[in-house]
Amino acid sequence: MKKFIKWIASGWMLILFFVGFFLFWEYSIPLFDIPRYILPSPSEIVLKGSADLDKLVYYTGVTALETVLGYIIALILGVGFGIAISFSSILRRTLYPFFVSIEMTPKIAFAPLFISWFGFGLMPKVIIVVLVCFFPIVLNAILAFNSLSNELTLFYQSTGASRLKTFFSIRLPAALPQCFVGFKYAAINATVGATIAEFIGSDKGLGFYISIVTGNMRPDLAFAGIFFLTVLGLTIFGFVTMMEKILIPWHISMKRINK
Amino acid sequence: MKNFIEVTELKKVFGNGEDEVHAFGPATININSGEFVSVLGPSGCGKSTLMLMVAGLLDSTSGKVEFENKVVNGPKTDIGIMFQDNTLVPWRTVRGNIELQLELRGLNLKDYQEKINNILKSVNLDDFADRFPNELSGGMQQRAAFCQAMIHDPKIILLDEPLGKLDAMTREKIRADFQKLWMVKKPTVIFVTHSIEEAVQLSNRVILITPRPGKIDREIKIDLPYPRDLQIKRSAKFTEYVNSIQEVFHKYGVI
Ligand SMILES: Nc1ncnc2c1ncn2[C@@H]1O[C@H](COP(=O)(O)OP(=O)(O)O)[C@@H](O)[C@H]1O
Ligand SMILES: [Mg+2]
């Protein structure tokens, strides 16, 4: 509770900024005579959006499922490949450069293809989310598992411990901070991937909703959809950040920010 | 009788072709059990290379290392090792880091708790057992690392410039702590340093290494009683040792 108060106290400038931002938005609409089919006011978004609440909540669930499923699969694959590549010199010379070169192509460009291959269902969306999340996770994991200091490597070698033991006692915990850099980046990408996949071909989900209502000249509802998408994205990112705090409370960079 | 540690014609060349770097040797060194030997030389002369080869953590190009007549090929595990950059992990407390050494060796933590307390007390870290490394000063970290390197009672301790990054005052203090611990347990110590005073104060014998590729210029036995406190450091004999070593390195143009 004390922490919460402190957090509010330290965040008051941000809160003030947001309040100011929305007030400006609300009152500049009549002031500049902006038509509502171009940009609705926040109060109208809330009003019209709440009439459509059932649909919005359901679609949020649909998009959340695609995002979370894809993210978890990418996490497992990314860390798995990351570890395999850091421990095998053959994979390091084959798969790793392959991944690096694929990283350069915008993965989202594959989305229409996947939709045409796998149809309108859940699977193509999950695949696209996996695709946009996998690369930041795997590349950071490779970096993470390869950056153990020389001294620590020599130290554990001098103990004669098995590879398995040193992996869990030293390599894995040492790699977690860098892994989380990838996890967090991927968490931001995940909802983006799901939304664009839904734009391209779907019959439900927030991306579907936003593209339909925009086509119907209802920017108020589009903003309501964007709001739910933002909440979804923040929730996922917040969860990953929380896991980071639980798993690696010792991590210095976090301690510095908290101070 | 053969010596406890025998290093014979040991040599290391890194890389090959144009990138070849002759880092060390060939050199022959004998060390007795319980001896405190310093390896003293300018930076880049191959001291760390020598130490890693002795520990079996680096393959030599030619020559051999023997411990009690057994040739080293592969990492030696009955040693304690310490570097300029310590091997404390940030996610464990001081106690946890000392336990890491025991855990990796499959030793029973319960049997060692008393010992951990004692060794921490001997270096004045008993109040910091439950602190994390980043909450300690550089000097305290190195003391904790020393406890980590010593806790399993290794017969041989290899120290590679463990005080290299510390300020002069802290170095002085930790030197005394090291000496105290060494006098109790009498492990064999190979201490790599580029501080002449440090080498003279701590060692039974100082091995002077030439600039790269490091060869042995000479060995100097330090005939002073332990513990070597301030009084001994002020003595004429101590100064004489320091001066004679300085002269050697002056001749090489490194000081
Ligand atoms: N892994 C390596 N590969 C190539 N050269 C190395 C390697 N390690 C050390 N060297 C070179 O060998 C020489 C001796 O290094 P080192 O043993 O670290 O010296 P010191 O510890 O005395 O400062 C240096 O010139 C260094 O650049
Ligand atoms: Mg060195």
Count of alpha carbons within 13 angstroms of residue A232, beta-carbon side: 29
* Pairing assessment for the beta strands B156-160 and B79-82 based on DSSP bridges: parallel
Q: Looking at chain B, which residue has its C-alpha nearest residue A170?
A: B89
- Ligand number nearest to the C-alpha of B47: 1
Higher pLDDT, B237 or B254: B237
Q: Extract the tokens encoding A218.
A: 């209802």
A82 backbone dihedrals φ, ψ, rounded to 5°: -60, -45
Label residue B189 exposed, middle or buried (CB < 10 Å: 0-12, 13-18, 19+). buried
Question: Distance between CA A201 and CA A62 in Å, rounded?
Answer: 14
Question: Distance between CA A61 and CA B234 in Å, rounded?
Answer: 79
Question: Distance between CA A144 and CA A137 in Å, rounded?
Answer: 10
Distance from CA of A171 to the nearest CA of B (A): 11
Tokens 């004679």, residue located:
B244
Radius of gyration of chain A (CA): 22
Q: Is B200 in the pocket of ligand 1 (CB under 6 A)?
A: no
Quick check: B104 and A252 CB within 8 A? no
Question: Distance between CA B148 and CA B131 in Å, rounded?
Answer: 15
Neighboring chain B residues of A161 at a CB cutoff of 8 Å: 104-106
Architecture category of domain A53-258 in CATH:
Orthogonal Bundle (1.10)
Give the closest of A157, A166, A170 to B75, CB-based.
A157
Q: Is B12 in the pocket of ligand 1 (CB under 6 A)?
A: no
Q: CB-based contacts of B169: which residues, under 8 Å, 6+ apart? A: none
**How many other C-beta atoms are found inside a 10 Å radius of the C-beta of residue A202?**
24
Question: Distance between CA A52 and CA A46 in Å, rounded?
Answer: 10
CA dihedral (A119, A120, A123, A124) positive or negative: positive
Question: Distance between CA A78 and CA A141 in Å, rounded?
Answer: 7
The pLDDT score that the predictor gives to residue A259 is: 43
The pLDDT score that the predictor gives to residue A253 is: 57
Q: Looking at chain B, which residue has its C-alpha nearest residue A168?
A: B104
Mean pLDDT of the region B175-187: 88
Give the closest of A151, A160, A255 to B87, CB-based.
A151
Mean pLDDT of the region B182-196: 92
Q: Is B46 in the pocket of ligand 1 (CB under 6 A)?
A: yes
Report the first-to-last Cα separation within chain A, whole angstroms: 17
Mean pLDDT of the region B168-176: 89
Nearest CA to ligand 1 atom 25: B44
Q: What single DSSP character describes residue A170?
A: I
The pLDDT score that the predictor gives to residue A5 is: 76
Please, are residues B98 and B147 in contact by the beta-carbon 8 Å criterion? yes
String of DSSP letters for A208-239: HHHHHHHHTT-HHHHHHHHHHHHHHHHHHHHH
The whole-chain average pLDDT of chain B stands at 93
Over residues B113-134, the pLDDT tens digits come to 999 999 999 889 999 999 999 9
Q: Is B48 in the pocket of ligand 1 (CB under 6 A)?
A: yes
Predicted confidence (pLDDT) at residue B5 exceeds the cutoff of 90:
yes
The pLDDT score that the predictor gives to residue B128 is: 96
Predicted confidence (pLDDT) at residue B140 exceeds the cutoff of 90:
yes
Q: Is B47 in the pocket of ligand 1 (CB under 6 A)?
A: yes
A147 interfacial to chain B (CB closer than 8 Å) = no
The pLDDT score that the predictor gives to residue A75 is: 97
**How many other C-beta atoms are found inside a 10 Å radius of the C-beta of residue A214?**
14
Higher pLDDT, B145 or A111: B145
The pLDDT score that the predictor gives to residue A251 is: 84
ipTM, interface predicted TM-score of the complex: 0.93
| Residue A107, helix vs strand vs coil | helix
The pLDDT score that the predictor gives to residue B57 is: 96
Quick check: B104 and A166 CB within 8 A? yes
- CA nearest neighbour of A166 among A148, A182, A142, A179: A148
CATH 1.10.10.10 matches B5-78+155-251: no
- CA nearest neighbour of B65 among B12, B4, B6: B6
Q: Looking at chain A, which residue has its C-alpha nearest residue B157?
A: A158
Over residues B10-28, the pLDDT tens digits come to 999 999 888 899 999 799 9
Closest-lying ligand 1 atom to the alpha carbon of residue B12: 12
| Residue B206, helix vs strand vs coil | strand
B35 backbone dihedrals φ, ψ, rounded to 5°: -85, 145
Give the closest of B52, B80, B90 to A250, CB-based.
B90
* Residue ranges of domains in chain A: 53-258
Mean pLDDT of the region B212-231: 91
Low-confidence ranges of chain A (pLDDT < 70): 252-259
Closest-lying ligand 1 atom to the alpha carbon of residue B19: 4
